[in-house]
Each structure stands twice: as C-alpha cells, then as structure tokens.
Structure 1
Amino acid sequence: MTAFADLHHRDVPLVLPTAWDHASAAALAARGFEAIGTTSLGVAAAAGLPDGAAATRDATLALALTLGNGSFLLSVDVEGGFSDDPDEVAEVARELAAVGAVGINLEDGLGSASRHAAKIVAVKAAVPGLFVNARTDTYWLGDGDERETSRRLDAYQQAGADGVFVPGLTDENRIAALVKGLGVPLNILYSPAGPTVTRLGDLGVRRVSLGSLLYRRALGAALETAADIRAGRTPRGATPAYEEVQALSPSLPT
C-alpha cells in the first residue's frame, strides 16, 4: 500500500484541501497538510476555461508539473480524464504519475458507468500504484437515486478503483448505508451545511475533500476586500505579508 493509500485507512478521515496554483499548495503544505488535491474549477477559472468540459488537460498537466515535486502528496482532479477513450485517459494518468502525482480523481459526469469502469481499468493497468478515486455524480448532477449510486460504485470497485467519491451527499443515514456496502474508502465532499469532519469520520467516511470551496472563498475574500477599500472601510480577515507569500516560491538558482 502506498503512503497516500495509507492515509485513507486511519481512524480519522483524510481532510484533502485543494489548490489551484503553486502558492496555494505551498501555503497549505506549510500548515501541515501532508496531502493536497487540485480543484478543477479553480484550475479552469484561473485559465479562463470552463470546468467539466475537458478543456483543461494542458493546464492541469502544467500545474501537476509545478506541484509534483513538492513536500506533500499530490492528487489531481482530472474531470472525466479529458477523453472518452480509456487509452487516452490512461495516458493522462501516466503523464501525471511521471511528474509526481500519487492519485487522481476521475468523475463519471453521469455518463455511461461501463465506460467509466473501462477508464479505471485502463488507468490501473497503466499505472498500478496510482490511487484512483472514482467519482459518481448521482447526487451532484442527478437526483440521488440510491440504487443507481450503489450500482455505479460497485462497478467502479470491481474495475479496480482504490476509493469512491459521492459529492453532494450529506444525509447521514445514506452515508452510513453506503459505507456498509463498500470495500474501499468512501470520500465525501465537505459542505458547510452538512456533517462535520468528525461526524463524517464517525459514519465511516475516510476522505473528506474540500473541492472548489477554498478557491471560491479566496475569490470571495478578494471581492470583499476590494469593496471594503472602495467604501472606506478597513479590510477584515487574515492577510499574509508580502514576505510570507514570496517565501512560498523556491529561490532561483544562483
């Protein structure tokens, strides 16, 4: 079992914050987060591209190249793999592993479950040690049908997924029921209106992702700060010093 997989088998859930650039990842690592993911929305928005439209393959690979040699374990959100062809998705996985990524998040977008399973098979055949977190969007994009969710998760487990992800699910009874039927760790997307991390751990959840929350909060803080200054108010909230942000970037060779 890899070090990243080990983090999914502890008594407390792995809280996986998500970065969208080098500074956000380095700052999170400096706060003691040993594993960091990427947010597809943050990567897409920063590049002026749509999220979930297979438009950010190059931007995602470029970010992974920047982050892959960091002091933390890196898991990369690859949307649906940027292709419907399992072999092409496997090639993306190879490229990510080559630059230091230890895991990927692969979403089905409520498309064909059998095609998604084929992508998982292809990735695990190409890079056996890469942690594949297989996401189903039955709650995120669909109506949260429990049978369909279980059917898809079972297919993804059988295909070799190392973990499964059900964003949008916050009901405690449904979470607990899913955990009982799984043979791999369950990942839940944190919601401020949903269960706490501690409660999710009590329910059997072993990974709690923050998704695009940090990116959206950062953008919200920037807008509030600009509005406060324009209105003559003193900005609130934490503000890292210039020197602190500068220190997040590696020194240039002399």
Structure 2
Amino acid sequence: MAQLNPAAAFRALHQGRTPGDPLILPGPWDAASARVFEEAGFPALATPSAGVAASLGYEDGSTPADEMFAAVTRIVRSVSVPVSADIEGGYGLDPKELVDRLLETGAVGCNLEDSAQGALKDPARHAGWLAEVRAEAGDRLFINARVDTYIRGLPELDAAIARARAYVAAGADGVYPFAAPAEHLPEIAKAVPVPVNMAVLPDAPGPRRLGELGAGRITFGPGLQIRATNALRDIARQVREL
C-alpha cells in the first residue's frame, strides 16, 4: 500500500473525530519542547507564533520572517511527527514564495491570519489570497485559516461564519475563529464542512468540552510556553534559595 504524503497523513488525523475527542496539537516553541511533546505521545504538533517569538526574544507579531522559518525548521527536524506552523499573516510574501519557504522547513500545514497591524483584512481579498496559496501548495499543506473578528472589534457570530465560509470556499482545510466564545462554537461548526480549531485560553472550556461543542482540533496559542516559563521562574527562585 502506498504511504500517504506527510501533509495527507496530517490531514487524515483531523478526520473521523468523535464529539469530545478533538485532535490535540501542543504548541512547541523550540526543538527541546517539541521533543517533549513527541515523547508524551502526541501524533502531531502546531507551533504558536507568540511562543516562538518569546523564545527568540521578540514581542508577538515582531519576529522577522527569516527567524520564524528558521525556528520552524529546527522544530520540524527535531521530531518525527508532523508539524504545522503558525506563520501569522504570511509576512507580506507572495503566495509562491510563502509556500516554497514553508515547504523548505518541512512543515505540513500552516495558520494564516486575516488581520494585520491590529486591523481586519478585507475578507474577499483575503479569500482570494488564500486561494492563490492553495493553488501553489496543492495538497502539500493543510491550510488553517484564522478568523480574527473576535479580537479585532467585530465579535458577531454572523461575521465569523461569513469569513469562515469564504475561506473554506477558497480552499482552506480548517478554520480557526480565534477567541470565539464557546457558545458560538456549535453554530460555527455547523456552518462549515471542515474542522474548527479552537484554542484553550484562560477561563475557557478544556479540550474535551470544546470537542463536544464542535471543535475538531485544539491548540494552545502561547499558553504552554507561558506555563513553562512560569515553572522556570519557580525553579530559579528555588535555586537562589539553595
């Protein structure tokens, strides 16, 4: 039997999920954390741009493209499981260069945001750009289209659904309504025929409950990196007290 290509294998992990059993993708911020998550038995990983930025000494959204792609490359080569990369809004690269550079890292998927400099992009224009990315990538990348309406001053359910549908029509494999309230999740999941990514955020439901509400995929943003940093602070205090 022919083996699936890496992106197809990653795509298959999203299929056939039952309510309450979403695909859980921890977010490594460097090679060491990626190995820890792989050793724990997770079948795939998804880098968080904010966590990677922190590990490189940048504020979220300020990482130069070259450094982000280099970081993703190090993470990918450190593990044997598929890795999807959060590459923010695409760093202003044209679709061909963006896809080429992403594939060079070895990643099998990506998050692409529909906002920039704190403002939402025009949805039709962004959908057209996503369609170009899909055409360049073919089946070699799982494209997860992030919907930023909830964090950019447009928290209405209808607006999120309209953008999600447009991005699916453009070829997105999944949609990611970032920071959507849990009560909106069932309607969003009904509205699109692709997996809905939800992040586990402070004061939000956990992975199982999000899965029951319709999420097919769970990520953590920079949450795991923040928890690790807090744990390291505790260790540092203990060391000072030795």
Q: TM range, normalised to the smaller chain?
A: 0.7 to 0.9
Q: Which residue of 1 aligns with 2:76?
A: 68
> How far did residue 43 of structure 1 move?
1.7
Moved over 3 A (4+): none
Q: 1:155 aligns with which of 166, 176, 187?
A: 166
Q: Alignment partner for residue 204 of structure 2, among 194, 201, 204? A: 194
* Residue 59 of structure 2 corresponds to residue 50 of structure 1: yes
Alpha-carbon distance between aligned partners in 1 of 2:123 and 2:61, rounded to the nearest angstrom: 17
CA distance in 1, matches of 2:201, 2:159: 22
Instruction: Tell me the alpha carbon deviations over residues 191-221 of structure 1, each in whole angstroms, 9 at most, x when there is no partner.
Output: 2422221112212210011110011111111
CA contact (8 A) 2:28 2:75 kept: no
- Superposed, 1:1-254 pairs within 5 Å as 2-9=8-15, 10-11=17-18, 12-53=21-62, 55-69=63-77, 70-83=79-92, 88-109=94-115, 110-129=120-139, 130-171=141-182, 173-230=183-240, 232=241
Name the CA distance, whole Å, in 2 between partners of 1:166 and 1:46.
25
Contact 2:50 2:60 in 1 (8 A): yes
Task: Return the structure number with greater helix share.
Answer: 2
Q: Distance between the aligned counterparts of 1:206 and 1:49, measured in 2?
A: 31
* Aligned equivalents of 1:198, 1:47: Cα separation in 2: 32
* CA displacement at 1:37 relative to structure 2: 1.1
What value does the CA root-mean-square deviation take over the aligned residues?
1.8
Q: 3-state DSSP class of the match of 1:105? A: strand
Moved more, 70-79 or 40-49: 40-49
Please state whether the residue corresponding to 2:97 is helix, strand or coil: helix
TM-score of the pair, normalised by structure 2: 0.87
Greater RCO, CA 8 A, separation 6+: 2
8 Å contact from structure 1 (residues 139, 166) kept in 2: yes
Q: Secondary structure at the match of 1:68?
A: helix
Structure 1 unmatched ranges of 5 or more:
235-254
One-letter amino acid matched to 2:102: L
Q: How much does 1:42 deviate?
A: 1.8
Opposite residue 103 of structure 2, the aligned amino acid is A
2:95–2:136: 8 Å Cα contact kept in structure 1? no
Over the matched positions of the two proteins, sequence identity in percent amounts to 38
With 196-205 and 28-37 compared, the bigger mean Cα shift is at 196-205
Structure 2 spans left out of the alignment, 5+ residues: none
Please tell me whether the aligned partners of residues 46 and 84 of structure 2 are also in contact (alpha carbons under 8 angstroms): yes
